[in-house]
Amino acid sequence: MQGTIVAIDVAVGDEVRAGEQLMLIESMKMHHPIEATVNGIIGSLLVEVGTTLMEGDAVATVRPASVAAAAEVVEDVLDLDRIRPDLGEVLARHAVGLDEARPGAVERRRKVHRRTARENVADLVDDGSFIEYGPMVIAAQRRRRALDDLIANTPADGMIAGIGTVNGDLFSGHAAQVVAMSYDYTVLAGTQGTQNHRKKDKLFEVAENLRLPVVFFAEGGGGRPGDTDAIGIAGLDCLAFLYWGQLSGLVPMVGITAGYRFAGNAAILGCCDVVIATADSNIGMGGPAMIEGGGLGVFAPTEVGPMSVQQFNGVVDVAVADEEEAVKVAKQYLSYFQGPVDDWTCVDQRELRHVIPENRKRSYDVRAAIEAMFDTGSVLELRRDFGLGMVTALARVEGKPVGVIANNPNYLAGAIDSPGADKAARFLQLCDAFDVPVITLVDTPGMMVGPAVEETALVRHCCRLFVTGANITVPLISIILRKSYGLGAQAMMGGSTKAPIACLAWPTGEFGGMGLEGAVRLGYRKELEAVEDPVERDALFEQMVERMYTHGKALNTASHFEIDDTIDPADSRRWISTILASAPAPLPRPGKKRPNIDTW
């Protein structure tokens, strides 16, 4: 090689042995030994320290000769437990950011009855599976704070981020990897700093490239004004929110929150497919400082976006008691996008025959039908306290994931209002984006009517169900539990009874262009008004309703093939499982199926 001599270990007349180092040559900042090739005596040295050599140049002559045998060298046994100084330095730096090295920070979390960021991530991922990105990063404040201070007090710049597997016990042998990220409220109140923004950028790119779901624990505030090492003015050119938004519809995005999260952290949370929040959460696009700075008054953090607001207005998908339950729900949510499970049970399906009261006007609990129809313990309801006329849930049938949308007859008799339409339409987007088949359980008198509901822009909101349902490509199965009237019923079935792969009805099913009572009053007004006796008029009205009910009952509707069959409720699972088993597996895609999933 070409290089420069940097050390000479022998002199003229020295005995040398084959393989013995004679000198060192440096080439491109790397030292290489030049070794003797024969036993002998050094006859001459042709170089000195500092001599630059070209390939093929001679460095010494060796006269072959018999030389004394080298003293036996006892080779050192490699100590696999020995920590070299360079490794020791790295391990020590890693240890600084662990909870064990920060008892004060841990104690502060205990005082507010919360876990540390690392405890939450460790609970989410399977043991030993987590690899962390950027654990030695510190806050970009070297111009104003000592390095030792930053290392001790801003570990990981307040952002725990990496890759691990989830649900290894549920999916033995093929647990899926996820990107797990958590702001650390013990580091500068979980604010978004220069370095943790860069860390988010990196992990969001990793999630995109590897198609990994992301679970984000969001707790803290927005941008951090105290960083000094960045170049720029406002920092609005950071890429985190661009990259984060682009993940929507590509990979499942799960947000978990406890305590305070405002501004940037709230924006991270609001972009997620599902938001899981603890009872002590406060969620706001602006925190108290921003509110006061805007001249809008002085408020305590607990007054901004409490769960008494966010749980019922649709911001929160699943309300939980604490972080432990939040992680449990997140793992369950992720499982539906990881594939089917082998172990499942269900209740005796004959129970479904008795869910609907025989009195067609008596209300009932549609959740009882859902719990009985799908695998035991597999139902996870989303946005339970918002859009009360609609139930949206993930569940399983014989281990296979499905999405469930059901009308709730206990609220507006199951009529579809604006919040309910929004809730169901967004859920359809979620299922379609990730190839989850959809089961709709229909019991609705139609779209809600009246001047009050029109003030909510129902005309636009309810039509989201039509345009979304008509364009999904996952298998859709509709089962009419009882009422199937008008536009509302059509919207629940993708636009028509012919849109689903199977459109079935239970014996309690009834069909019509509008509610039967309304149809009689509207269509037979003159006939009814012609009867002067109120008792006779009411009797005629009930007779006409009964005649229309007989005409529109499920059995008669099936005979005209407007639906595919009227079935024994106990056969519902058999229909669903047969169709799911027949559906082809989704083909791999180079990118997204949908541009994004609506945040609302």
pLDDT at 525: 82
Better-predicted residue by pLDDT, 381 or 140: 381
Q: Is residue 70 assigned to a domain?
A: no
d(CA 135, CA 155): 7
Residue 511 pairs in a beta bridge with: 484
Q: Which residues of 358-396 are buried (b: 16+ CB within 10 A; e: fewer)?
A: eeeeeebebbebbbbbbbeebbbbbbbbbbbbbbbbbbb
Q: 563 and 545: one domain?
A: no
Residue 519 has pLDDT above 80, yes or no: no
Better-predicted residue by pLDDT, 339 or 233: 339
Q: Which two tokens stand for residue 355?
A: 């869910």
Q: Which two tokens stand for residue 550?
A: 């007989």
pLDDT band at 73 (very low <50, low <70, confident <90, very high): low
296: CB partners within 8 A, 6+ apart: none
Cβ pair 582, 483 in contact under 8 A: no
Residue 465 CB neighbours (<10 A): 28
d(CA 114, CA 448): 43
End position of a domain, from candidates 335, 360, 390: 335
pLDDT band at 357 (very low <50, low <70, confident <90, very high): very high
Distance, CA of 414 to chain centre:
30
Taking CA atoms, 69 is separated from 65, 72, 197, in Å, by 12, 9, 64
Residue 354 has pLDDT above 90, yes or no: yes
Q: Which two tokens stand for residue 457?
A: 């822009």
- The dihedrals phi and psi of 523, each to the nearest 5 degrees, come to -80, -25
pTM of the model: 0.88
pLDDT at 155: 93
pLDDT-wise least confident of 260-264, 383-387, 457-461 = 260-264
Q: Is residue 589 assigned to a domain?
A: no
Taking CA atoms, 268 is separated from 126, 154, 319, in Å, by 24, 21, 18
Residue 343 has pLDDT above 60, yes or no: yes
- The dihedrals phi and psi of 142, each to the nearest 5 degrees, come to -65, -20
Q: Is residue 593 assigned to a domain?
A: no
Q: 274 and 130: one domain?
A: yes
- DSSP string spanning 31-96? EEEEE-SSSEEEEEE---TT-EE-TT---EEEEE---PPPPPP-PPPP-TT---HHHHHHHHHHHH
514: CB partners within 8 A, 6+ apart: 445, 446, 485, 486, 522
Q: Could you tell me which of 329, 314, 432, 263 has the C-alpha nearest to residue 120?
A: 329
Q: What angle do CA 204, 266, 119 make, to 5 degrees?
A: 70
495: CB partners within 8 A, 6+ apart: 466, 469, 470
d(CA 449, CA 457): 12
Q: 398 and 324: one domain?
A: no
Q: 545 and 562: one domain?
A: no
141-160: per-residue pLDDT in tens? 999 999 999 998 999 999 99
Q: Is residue 72 assigned to a domain?
A: no
Residue 255 has pLDDT above 70, yes or no: yes
Q: 325 and 415: one domain?
A: no
- The dihedrals phi and psi of 506, each to the nearest 5 degrees, come to -80, 165
Domain count, the chain: 4
pLDDT at 74: 61
Compute the average pLDDT of residues 253-275.
94
pLDDT at 175: 73
pLDDT-wise least confident of 93-102, 205-214, 511-520 = 511-520
pLDDT at 559: 92
pLDDT-wise least confident of 334-348, 516-530, 531-545 = 516-530
Q: Is residue 74 assigned to a domain?
A: no
Compute the average pLDDT of residues 306-335.
97
- DSSP string spanning 503-530? EEE-TT-EEESS-HHHHHHHHTHHHHHT
Q: Which two tokens stand for residue 250?
A: 């590509």
Q: 369 and 458: one domain?
A: yes
The three state secondary structure string of 448-475 is CCCHHHHCCCHHHHHHHHHHHHCCCCCC
Compute the average pLDDT of residues 269-288.
95
d(CA 369, CA 443): 12
CATH number of the domain residue 52 falls in = 2.40.50.100
Compute the average pLDDT of residues 266-273.
94
Q: pLDDT over 90 for what percent of the chain? A: 76
Q: What angle do CA 495, 380, 303 make, to 5 degrees?
A: 100
- Phi/psi region, residue 173 (left: phi>0; alpha: psi -120 to 50; beta: rest), is left
Q: Is residue 69 assigned to a domain?
A: no
pLDDT at 72: 66
Compute the average pLDDT of residues 418-422.
97
Residue 257 has pLDDT above 90, yes or no: yes
Q: What angle do CA 288, 291, 293 make, to 5 degrees?
A: 105
pLDDT at 70: 66
Q: 260 and 162: one domain?
A: yes
Residue 374 has pLDDT above 70, yes or no: yes
Cβ pair 195, 137 in contact under 8 A: yes
Q: Which two tokens stand for residue 121?
A: 């991530």
Q: 26 and 145: one domain?
A: no
Q: Which two tokens stand for residue 301?
A: 């953090």
Residue 75 has pLDDT above 80, yes or no: no
CATH number of the domain residue 382 falls in = 3.90.226.10
Q: 329 and 194: one domain?
A: yes
d(CA 5, CA 252): 59
Strands 390-397 and 318-320, by their bridges, are unpaired
pLDDT at 590: 86
End position of a domain, from candidates 335, 365, 394: 335
End position of a domain, from candidates 270, 302, 335: 335
Average pLDDT score over the chain? 92
Taking CA atoms, 292 is separated from 222, 262, 286, 350, in Å, by 15, 14, 10, 60
- DSSP string spanning 336-380? TTT---S------GGGGGGTS-SSTT----HHHHHHHHS-TT--E
Residue 537 has pLDDT above 90, yes or no: no
SS3 6: strand
Distance, CA of 589 to chain centre:
19
Q: 254 and 283: one domain?
A: yes
Q: Is residue 542 assigned to a domain?
A: yes
pLDDT band at 130 (very low <50, low <70, confident <90, very high): very high
Q: Is residue 599 assigned to a domain?
A: no
Q: Which two tokens stand for residue 201?
A: 């950028």
Residue 401 pairs in a beta bridge with: 396
Q: Which two tokens stand for residue 574?
A: 């058999």
Which domain, by its residues, includes 475?
349-509+553-582
Q: H-helix or E-strand containing 224?
A: none
d(CA 395, CA 273): 17
SS3 596: coil
Q: 547 and 558: one domain?
A: no
Compute the average pLDDT of residues 324-328.
97
d(CA 120, CA 521): 59
Helices (H), 394-441: 418-433
Cβ pair 219, 258 in contact under 8 A: yes
Q: 291 and 361: one domain?
A: no
